[in-house]
Amino acid sequence: MNKIDGAISQFQSMDSMAKEDRWMNQIHPSIKLFLTVLFIGLTVSFPKYNLTGLFGMILYPFVLFQIGELSFRESLYRLRVVLPIVCIVGIANPFFDRAVVTRIGEIGVTGGVLSMLTLMLKAVLSVLASYLLIVTTSIEKICYALQQAHFPQILVTEVLLIYRYISVLLAETRRVTQAYHLRAPGQKGIAIGAWGPLVGQMLLRSMDRAERLYQSMCLRGFDGTFHLKEKSHVRRTDILYLLIWTALLLILRLFPVLEWVGRWFVR
């Protein structure tokens, strides 16, 4: 599967998952968005040597994967983008920070190793949190939540339009590149001589498409804003969900809960 096919199938699969009728999908989008941002904010705020404290945050994605009946394996695919960058940044830490900060039995663990592992865990957790948001909430609902949070209307409209046209333009790009590669077999990418005409033609067609889109939107009464049909009310369950998770996440961030639990068993 090439890059474009991969992107199209990823879009389709996430979109269909977000539109499924599951318990997690029913939670109010504003609450899910708030909790995701809170979780990521608290996760990345952990000090660089506090790996044990950070382990407690695993609870959030773990529970959500369970109650949302989601596949953990599919989410791992997203880590391919983030982990290499984080590894490059974090890999230097063990070389520069060699002071032993803790010991596991007889083995001394240096600050660099600990901070590298913390960094990687933070990356994994933050990626999983945004994955959980997008597979349980459709883009329309996220835009509705943004609208509720007084996000500028022009940006909300634009995000919806971009999202709506990505699949159309990705399909067109696939057709164009497929046609090119059929005429230039064995070639890895697009040759320099074709860069301008190939992308330029696509660009001009897209601009013409935008003009036609504008005219058709005007015919349907477009006044510069999208009126989202997603008008969901906050239920008692939603408030309970918000309160429980906010309290849990704050407790996990502020207190060494895992250490307390561990001391019950290890003395």
Among 63, 67, 100, 162, binds other proteins (CB under 8 A): 162
CB 60 within 8 A of CB 241: no
Least distance CB 239 / other proteins (angstroms): 23
* Pairwise CA distance, residues 147 & 155, whole Å: 9
69: left (phi over 0), alpha (psi -120 to 50) or beta: left
Task: Find the binding residues for other proteins in span 29-68 (CB under 8 A).
Answer: 36-37, 40-41, 43-45, 48
How many chain residues bind other proteins (CB under 8 A)? Answer: 87
Using the rule CB under 8 A, is 178 a contact of other proteins? no
- The DSSP letter of residue 56 is G
Phi, psi of 35 (to 5 degrees): -65, -35
Strand-pairing partners, residue 109, are 102
Using the rule CB under 8 A, is 190 a contact of other proteins? yes
Segment lying near other proteins (by CB under 8 A), choices 10-18, 56-64, 65-73, 252-260: 10-18
What's at 128, amino acid-wise? L
Site string for other proteins, 86-125 (x = CB under 8 A): x--xx-xx-xxx--------------x--x---xx-xx--
Segment lying near other proteins (by CB under 8 A), choices 24-32, 57-65, 158-166, 244-252: 158-166
Task: Find the binding residues for other proteins in span 191-210 (CB under 8 A).
Answer: 191-192, 195-204, 206-207, 209-210
- The DSSP letter of residue 92 is T
Tokens at residue 204, please?
């001009």
